A = this chain, B = another copy of it.
Amino acid sequence: MVKGFFGSAVMAEIKYKDRYDLGLIYSEANATVAANFTTNVFKAAPVTDAIEIIKNNKHIKAILVNSGNANACTGLIGLKNVAKCREAVAKNFSIDSSEVLMSSTGVIGAHLPVEKIVNKIPELKERLSPAGLFDVAKAIMTTDTFAKTAQKKFAINGNEVTVFGIAKGAGMIAPKLSSPHATMLAFIMTDANIEQVFLQNIVNILCNKTFNKITVDGDTSTNDSVIVLANGIAANSLITNKENGKEFIEALDAVMKELSYKIVKDGEGATKFINIKIKGMNTPDNAAIIARTIAESPLVKTAIFGEDPNWGRILAAAGRAGVNFNPDKVNVFFDDVMMVKDGMGIIENEEKAKDVMKNKEYSITVAFDEGAASCKFYTCDYSFDYIKINADYRS
């Protein structure tokens, strides 16, 4: 685990029965905070609240998080309910309510059952333990089928530093995070000693490389949040720049990448994990636009489910992305099987491509002749279960 951080979870019956749905992350020391939140115009109450807190306060001690209720589109009542929950945590720990953040995921539009939540805070406090962070990873699950955690350790001048993260998916996943502002939730804890402004910069850059390059359904949530806490307990010499922060950046990148991978791997109804790789584009932004368009194309996603190397759908998606390129200079690979050369299919490779598509994980590479920019984007398929989950269940 990570030094100085404690977690716990309880069954508060917010929406679900017989499972954890309320969790607490607690840092024994003041933790430097850096965060990214959704760019959706409809920001959930806990997101609006957290943006405001972090604007004024760069150190926090606790994060209260629930599933089953997003507290989104709930107006002023929603904001007041967040404040009540934060105050209850503060009171129990004798800290200031501005040292507490709240985070929510679940149904949009229902009011938070404040009393159920507040009543459980003493139990959350009592249950706190280092390994309890795994329970928090369970408490934030909605349509997720497994809890998502990732951990990296490294040393700075002999001081061991840990970066540990938890996250949830599994639908309304197409984070477009921005600072200081997914219902992707990710909480990353580290005992690193790191300067706040530098941490926020690194979080912005890495979110854009990792969480902002995944999609399950293309629907960006009202609640997406990535919150990174650094409590300094590792007592390493202060990290302030890319040189002395090299190992930290690598570790945080690895944790964010692993959580991103696990979110897409567990996408609603997903049977396949696909790494879309764009190469040879003129700009990174254009590479990302094409990657996202392919990754979110329903015809591509259903062909992946059907294990059909229907490269025409991939090209058609690339061609409608709104980016101009030479269509006669486009190659497509399924792993290392070349399926399209110069914009035309290599029919004799179709059986080999089909074999690749039988795998649970593979890459689709689309290579252009426009420049040196590239992009990797994680996506999954659309299965019968995707429809079932989202037609049957109000998530």
Query: A: which residues have CB within 8 A of B?
Result: 39-43, 70, 72-75, 107-110, 171-172, 174, 176, 217-222, 296-299, 302-303, 305-306, 308, 310-313, 315-320, 323-325, 327-328, 340, 342-345, 347, 382-384, 386-388, 390-392, 394-395
Interface of A, secondary structure class, is loop
Give me the 8 closest cross-chain CB pairs, A-B, nearest first: A108-B312, A306-B391, A302-B390, A41-B319, A42-B319, A220-B320, A109-B345, A40-B319
Which chain B positions have C-beta within 8 A of A387? 302, 305, 382-384, 386-387
Which chain B positions have C-beta within 8 A of A320? 39-41, 174, 176, 219-220
Q: Given known contacts A75-B344, A305-B391, what 4 new A-B pairs fall within 8 Å (CB)?
A: A109-B347, A221-B316, A299-B390, A384-B387
Q: How many copies does the complex hold?
A: 2
**Contacts A221-B316, A297-B218 hold; do A390 and B41 have CB atoms under 8 A apart?**
no
Are A312 and B72 closer than 8 Å at their CB atoms?
yes
Are B73 and A313 closer than 8 Å at their CB atoms?
no
Q: CA A174 – CA B392 in complex, angstroms?
A: 26
Q: CA A296 – CA B315 in complex, angstroms?
A: 20
Are B41 and A73 closer than 8 Å at their CB atoms?
no
Which chain B positions have C-beta within 8 A of A220? 316, 319-320
Q: CA A394 – CA B307 in complex, angstroms?
A: 11
Which chain B positions have C-beta within 8 A of A303? 390-391
Q: CA A39 – CA B172 in complex, angstroms?
A: 29
Which chain B positions have C-beta within 8 A of A383? 387
Sample (11) of A-B pairs whose CB atoms are under 8 Å apart: A40-B320, A41-B319, A73-B327, A73-B343, A73-B345, A75-B342, A172-B316, A219-B313, A222-B319, A384-B388, A387-B387
